[in-house]
């Protein structure tokens, strides 16, 4: 039987990884703060990764696989130092935010990364992930670094992809504000497909875990159809949106998935190695259907971490040139 230690295991992605390992017949231990439950069947060991003895309870065991999702380099480095010799395989969930080049289309895993974060640096997500990768890759052939792009699916805490399901659902027969669409692309991957790859991939090194490149307009059209929206569409100009204080990609008062026109490589990266390593992608419409149902259940007018409120959207539509 495979013994798996997940550093985390109670969050959105890591919980699905734990569940997938359990379904595969593994024994699963989750090391986490304990604020959320581990999946049924997993053992939860509480530990604070800021503590010097964070790994004491699990360092006396040999683990077939260790999975870490941390975005803090000091956590990753301390875990490797404490447990690296006890792991048959180490899977680190990184991010495509490690890449410094956001302009080159179809860039693969050899693309240049940001300089790694150093102790005392201000927190910067991409640099922290680079430093974490370096610590794990030092384990050699035992290490797999998974670099997901935009992970989507039901329960997504970032609210980015789900924003569009909510926007179309809440509008009904009324208009929806869209970002510029001409020449814009997007890439997404279902959270379940990321979890499947983490559990089943036998490769080592770094792998981009991301879906196929699709026109942004096509993806939004498919979300719109699934939500049953029949109102008008107001497509805004990038300069005008920025003048109105609307931000691209994510965050408060934003239009998610919209990228500045010079970021031509950010959502057009190569997934050739992912597919060669056995990565699979479920049908996009299946993912969209789950997201639409999830947004209905959670409430389309709830507070969100990304997007526009409906009153803000209507105010912008009223003055759209």
**Tens digits of residue pLDDT in 244-289:** 999 999 999 999 999 999 999 999 999 999 999 999 999 999 999 9
By percentage, how much of the chain surpasses pLDDT 70? 100
Structural domains in the chain plus CATH codes: 3-148 (3.40.50.720), 154-186+212-267+283-319 (no CATH)
Find how far residue 305's CA is from the centre of its chain.
14
In this prediction, residues 71-100 reach a mean pLDDT of 98
Maximum distance among all Cα pairs of the chain, rounded to whole angstroms = 65
Phi, psi angles (nearest 5°) of residue 49: -75, -5
The whole-number pLDDT of residue 160 equals: 97
291 neighbors 165 (Cβ within 8 angstroms): yes
- Bridge partners of 83, per DSSP, are none
**CA 17, 9, 207, 80 torsion-angle sign:** negative
Other CB atoms within 10 A of residue 61 CB: 11
Task: Give residue 215's pLDDT band: very low, low, confident or very high (50, 70, 90).
Answer: very high
DSSP 277: T
Find how far residue 178's CA is from the centre of its chain.
23
The whole-number pLDDT of residue 252 equals: 95
61 neighbors 3 (Cβ within 8 angstroms): yes
Find how far residue 47's CA is from the centre of its chain.
24
Q: Starting at the edge strand that comes first in sequence, how are the strands of the sheet with 205-209 ordered?
A: 43-46, 27-32, 3-7, 65-68, 90-93, 143-148, 205-209
> 286-309: buried (b, 16+ CB within 10 Å) or exposed (e) per residue?
ebbbbbbebbeeeebeeebbbbbe
**Which tokens sit at 91?**
């899977």
**316/179 Cα distance (integer angstroms):** 12
Mean pLDDT taken over the chain: 97
Other CB atoms within 10 A of residue 81 CB: 11
46 neighbors 8 (Cβ within 8 angstroms): no
pLDDT digits (tens, 9 = 90+) for 217-236: 999 999 999 999 999 999 99
Question: What pTM was computed for the model?
Answer: 0.97
pLDDT digits (tens, 9 = 90+) for 15-59: 999 999 999 999 999 999 988 999 999 999 999 999 999 999 999
**CA 109, 115, 121, 123 torsion-angle sign:** negative
The whole-number pLDDT of residue 225 equals: 98
Task: Give residue 91's pLDDT band: very low, low, confident or very high (50, 70, 90).
Answer: very high
């Amino acid at each position: 039987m495979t013994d798996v230690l997940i550093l985390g295991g109670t969050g959105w992605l890591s919980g699905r990884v734990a569940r997938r390992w359990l379904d595969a017949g593994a024994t699963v231990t989750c090391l986490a703060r304990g604020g959320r439950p581990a999946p049924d069947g997993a053992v939860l060991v509480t530990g604070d990764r800021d503590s010097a003895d964070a790994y004491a309870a699990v360092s006396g065991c040999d683990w077939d696989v260790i999975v870490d999702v941390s975005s803090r380099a000091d956590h990753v480095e301390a875990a490797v130092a404490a447990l690296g010799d006890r792991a048959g395989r180490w899977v680190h969930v990184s991010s495509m935010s490690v890449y410094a080049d956001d302009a080159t289309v179809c860039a693969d895993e050899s693309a240049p990364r940001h300089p790694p974060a150093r102790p005392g640096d201000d927190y910067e997500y991409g640099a922290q992930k680079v430093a974490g990768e370096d610590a794990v890759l030092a384990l050699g052939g035992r290490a797999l670094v998974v670099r997901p792009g935009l992970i989507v699916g039901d329960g997504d805490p970032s609210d980015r992809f789900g924003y569009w399901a909510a926007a179309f659902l809440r509008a009904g027969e009324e208009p929806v504000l869209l970002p510029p669409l001409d020449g814009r692309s997007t890439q997404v991957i279902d959270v379940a497909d990321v979890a499947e790859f983490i559990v089943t991939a036998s490769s080592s090194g770094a792998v981009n875990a991301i879906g196929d490149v699709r026109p942004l307009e096509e993806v939004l059209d498919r979300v719109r159809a699934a939500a049953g929206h029949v109102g008008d569409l107001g497509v805004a100009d990038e300069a005008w949106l920025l003048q109105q204080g609307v931000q691209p990609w994510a965050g408060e008062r934003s239009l998610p998935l919209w990228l500045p026109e010079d970021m031509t490589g950010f959502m057009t990266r190569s997934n050739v190695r992912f597919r060669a390593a056995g990565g699979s992608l479920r049908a996009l419409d299946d993912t969209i259907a789950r997201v639409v149902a999830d947004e209905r259940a959670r409430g389309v007018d709830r507070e969100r971490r990304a997007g526009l409120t409906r009153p803000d959207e209507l105010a912008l539509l009223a003055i759209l040139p």
